[in-house]
Chains A and B, each alone.
Chain A
Amino acid sequence: DAGVIQSPRHEVTEMGQEVTLRCKPISGHNSLFWYRQTMMRGLELLIYFNNNVPIDDSGMPEDRFSAKMPNASFSTLKIQPSEPRDSAVYFCASSILFGQTNTEAFFGQGTRLTVV
Chain B
Amino acid sequence: SQKIEQNSEALNIQEGKTATLTCNYTNYSPAYLQWYRQDPGRGPVFLLLIRENEKEKRKERLKVTFDTTLKQSLFHITASQPADSATYLCALLRYNFNKFYFGSGTKLNVKP
Knowing A43-B89, A102-B93, A108-B43, say if A55 contacts B101 (CB, 8 Å): no
Report B-chain residues with C-beta under 8 Å of the C-beta of A104: 34, 46, 49
User: Interface on chain A toward B: helix, strand, loop, or mixed SS?
Assistant: strand
Report A-chain residues with C-beta under 8 Å of the C-beta of B89: 43
Across the A-B interface, how many residue pairs have beta carbons closer than 8 Å? 64
User: Interface on chain B toward A: helix, strand, loop, or mixed SS?
Assistant: strand
* CB closest chain-B residue, reference A106: B46
We find that the number of chain A residues with CB closer than 8 angstroms to chain B is 27
Name the interface size band of chain B: 20 to 34
- CB pair A109–B43 under 8 Å, yes or no, is yes
CA–CA, A109 to B43, complex, Å? 5
| Minimum Cβ distance to chain B for residue A6 (Å) | 8
Instruction: Tell yes or no: A101 within 8 A of B by CB.
Output: yes
| Minimum Cβ distance to chain A for residue B99 (Å) | 6
9 further contact pairs, Cβ within 8 A, besides A101-B32, A101-B95, A104-B46: A43-B105, A45-B99, A56-B99, A91-B43, A91-B44, A93-B100, A95-B100, A105-B91, A107-B43
Give residues in B with beta carbon < 8 Å to A: 31-32, 34, 36, 41-46, 49, 89, 91, 93, 95-96, 98-105
